[in-house]
Structure 1
Amino acid sequence: MNPAAHGPTTWSPARIRLALLALAMGGFGIGATEFVAMGLLPELAADLLPALNATAPEEAIAQAGWLISAYALGVVVGAPTIAAAAARWPRKQLLLWLVAAFTLGTVASALLPTFGLVLVARFFAAVPHGAYFGIASLVAASLMGPGKRARGVALVLSGLTIANVIGVPAITWLGQQTTWRVAYLAVAGIFALTFVAIALVVPWQPGDASASIRRELGAFRRVQVWLALGIGSIGFGGFFAMYTYIAPLATEVAGLPASWVPVVLMVVGVGMTIGNLLGGWSADRSVRRSLRGYFVALALALAALGLVAAWPPGLIVGALVVGAAAAALSPVIQARLMDVAGDSQSIAAALNHSALNLGNSLGAAAGGAAIAAGLGFVSPIWIGLGFTIAGLGLTAATVAIDRARQRGGQVLSYATGAIAVADDTA
């Protein structure tokens, strides 16, 4: 495939904006397919686990949370696998294949009849997730130009956060008024529209001709890559421990009617949108300071939410702040991974989403276990606080290694205010 056959290499500002919008639309669909289950857990439990739901509704809701964990595990498996194997593919072509897979997987999730089959479908529907965000982030960073890498990442992620403002609440409401299956078919429709948008307006970009599976997997030889993955999976798990069970938190703890669940989801989405843009801006200035600051903010927000969750205004304000602090971490962690991964950029861009969704799976599972043990619907917040504190500890460790190597004379690059470790194989 020849770039000359696909138009000029210099694109107009209008074409770039349309391309970024199309990439963000994919993020919107991913946000909808990933998070809509959190608002529809009671409906999923009632439909797919009717016997358990009739006798032990708390246990049924906790088991329905496995659907969220299954999706997260699909991301964990798919992101590095696809990113490493397909790094040489033309990026637009790869994006189109990934969106097609999303569409089919979401349709299967909506149509399969039993809990076990839907669980499997959610796993496979998630496999393209990390690779999509990774490749889309590389395309966006290229379109944005030098010095705006993290802002390009944040623009792609903005589709996901805006989904939590508009898409997830609206589709949750649709699922409450009809069935959760109709809600997932609506999500599949978003992916179909995304396929058309990317095909029409995203410029052709070559893959990395020098990439190889061996080179991409070389990122795993770097201790700082593993620490960055730990920061994302363990630290971000704190948010998902709370967010997975936001519906029962709103109805059973704060005493709000079920019709308020989409409102609470919208509030979290507003916070996530603000936080994502703030995180992209600050990461282009200092990744390390941003990591520390946002983890401290997330820990404080979770602690405050745990104390005031039974008070509806406290729940709403707390959910807003937790969403903002958590979403700000996402582009920061992605920038950190790309800084420390050396020339394994394709897999680094995708691994962030493996890490965050491992956090999703761990947080959802730990929060569900606490609920099933009879600790109540507030307990996932305290579980989440523990995860967040652990993430802050890992952040301190990775910063300490940077400083030790700097004192030891290793070369550090301070491009755009972030730190890139030039030799980090120890």
Structure 2
Amino acid sequence: MPLAIYVLGLSIFCLGTTEFMISGLLPELAHDFSVSIPTAALLISGFALAVALGGPPLTLAFLRIRQKTALVGLLVLFNVGQLLGALAPSYGVLMAARVITALSVGAFFGIGAVVAVNLAGEHRHAKAIAIMFGGLTVANIVGVPFGAFIGQHWGWRASFWIVAGLASVSLAAVIALVPASRRPASVQVEAELLPFKRPAMWSALLTTALSQAALFAVFSYIAPILTEMAGFSAAAVPPLLVLFGVGTLAGSTIGGRFADRHLSLNLYIGLLALALIIALLPVALHSTAPAIAGVFAFGVVAFAINPALQTQVMRVAAEAPTLASTVNISAFNIGNTLGPWLGGVAISAGYGYEAPEFLAAGLALASCAAAFLTTRLSGARNHHGSQPDRWALDGAMKE
């Protein structure tokens, strides 16, 4: 794989660390700004909402310029937000900084994915996406715990400064190593909007949103699930989260290799396995060894589908995938927001910490049904000759 794809993965590592490390810094942030923990947690929700709403219009704006220039501009915007956050004198300024930072995330994912698959060459698109999205996996394994550790020992601002420094390195690497592309021949806004007239696009986006809602309906409450249901001590939770992170890395690697040849099968098997593993968690958590195995398996199946989710959307929009790729990142974030809310509603209703698991299993099954519908809708369209069922990126998106 070209080195530039790994550079994009480093950029995603920085973006992902910033998005999720706030969860480990909530007590420090709440104390410094004299707000409640739930109010501090809105910094997470605000970020996700800004990613979901800001990415698509920013991507459309960047259709007028070279893809490499767009990536550089987005990383500069990210660093501006990150530095503003490190210097924020108030909660309101920090929230504004989080929104500025988040605006770059969705568009960078979307444009970066198109660049990555074009650099990878034929038959290696899902693997390229897996490498790039692997930066997000490593962020969960290393970046988020390290950010929390730094914040606890040297203050939360130090975590922001370190990520800003890494993002600066990533920016320099993108400038040096990502190949320059030719200027677009014309503004392709209409072409980028065309895939959204197809029912298959919306079912593909629904697949993504439901699958992520299933993941986060459980993962958002993993700490109390492990302590209250499985009887682990609070000190055992971080190592178990690292184990979950190792599982996500393994799953992303496996999914990236499998999805290039068997995209639909990857989604069907992965989503059914996700539903099964989540449904079995309440049983596994009664014993130590099965609980540990269940946490690892949960990580594997939850992330094995991610390369296929992004690839599916880009395949449906093969002739104009940039905006579709970004909107799919919005779908990821909608699921990230919807899952914890639904899980919290079930817990608050008095059903206990088993409720999110069964709810999530149902969401995973619904996502599998949406993936099957996408395949059928895409197949019907291909049968009528609208678009061959193959990648057209290398030809259609050359700039």
- Do both share a fold (TM > 0.5)? yes
Given the alignment of the two structures, is residue 415 of structure 1 paired with residue 390 of structure 2, yes or no? yes
Q: Distance in 2 between matches of 1:314 and 1:111?
A: 45
Partner amino acid, structure 2, of 1:293:
I
Structure 2: which amino acid aligns with 1:225? M
In the alignment, the residues of structure 2 paired with residue 42 and residue 83 of structure 1 have an alpha-carbon distance, to the nearest angstrom, of 35
Q: Please report how far the alpha carbon of residue 376 of structure 1 lies from its aligned counterpart in structure 2 after TM superposition.
A: 4.5
- Equivalenced residue count is 392
Q: Which residue of 2 aligns with 1:24?
A: 9
Distance in 2 (CA, whole Å) between partners of 1:120 and 1:310 is 44
Q: Distance in 2 between matches of 1:38 and 1:253?
A: 22
Is 1:71 the counterpart of 2:56? The answer is: no
Q: After the TM superposition, which residues 307-318 of structure 1 pair with which residues of structure 2 at under 5 Å, given as runs? A: 307-309=283-285, 313-318=289-294
- Partner Cα distance (1:171, 1:266) in 2: 14
Of residues 63, 66, 87, the one that matches 1:87 is 63
Deviations 1:347-369 (A, max 9, x none): 12222211111111111322344
Please give the alpha-carbon distance, in whole angstroms, between the structure 2 residues aligned to 1:68 and 1:381.
22
Task: Name the CA shift for 1:298/1:24 in 2 (closer, same or farther; >3 Å).
Answer: same
Instruction: Tell me if 1:158 matches 2:134.
Output: yes
2:307 to 321, 331, 342: 331
| C-alpha deviation, 1:284, in angstroms | 0.8
Change (3 A) 1:402 1:44: same
* Structure 1 residue 306 displacement after superposition: 3.4
Are 1:195 and 2:195 an aligned pair?
A: no
Deviation at 1:372, TM superposition (A): 4.9
Mapped pair 1:143 → 2:119: yes
Question: What is the CA deviation profile of residues 181-220 of structure 1, one whole-angstrom value per residue up to 9, with x for unaligned ones?
Answer: 4333322222122112212222212354344222212221
| Residue 74 to residue 264, structure 1, CA distance change in 2 (3 Å) | farther
Q: What do you get for the CA RMSD once the two structures are aligned?
A: 2.8
The answer to whether structure 1 residue 124 and structure 2 residue 113 are counterparts is: no
Amino acid in the other structure paired with 2:15: I
CA distance in 1, matches of 2:147, 2:120: 31
Sort the Cα spacing of 1:343 and 1:198 in 2 relative to 1 into closer, same or farther, 3 A. same
Work out the CA distance in 1 between the residues paired with 2:41 and 2:359: 15
Query: Structure 2 stretches of 5 or more lacking a match?
Result: 393-399
Does structure 1 conserve the Cα–Cα contact (< 8 Å) formed by 2:213 and 2:339? Answer: yes
| TM-superposition CA deviations, 1:267-299 (whole Å, max 9, x none) | 222111111122221111121111111101111
In structure 2, C-alpha distance between the alignment counterparts of 1:383 and 1:109, rounded to whole Å: 36
Deviations 1:123-164 (A, max 9, x none): 332111121122222222222111211111111111111222
Give the % identical residues.
35
1:305 CA drift (Å): 2.3
Letter in 2 for 1:169: P
TM-score between both structures, scaled by the size of structure 2 = 0.87
Q: 1:128 is paired with a residue of what secondary structure? A: helix
C-alpha distance in 2 between matches for 1:402 and 1:235: 20
Give the drift of 1:317.
2.7
SS of 2:305's equivalent?
helix
Superposition deviation, residue 69 in structure 1: 2.5
Contact 2:127 2:256 in 1 (8 A): yes
Where does residue 322 of structure 2 map in the other structure?
Answer: 346
Q: Are 1:33 and 2:9 matched, yes or no?
A: no
CA deviation map 1:60-114 (0-9, x unaligned)? 4xx6543332222211112221222212311221111111222222333444355
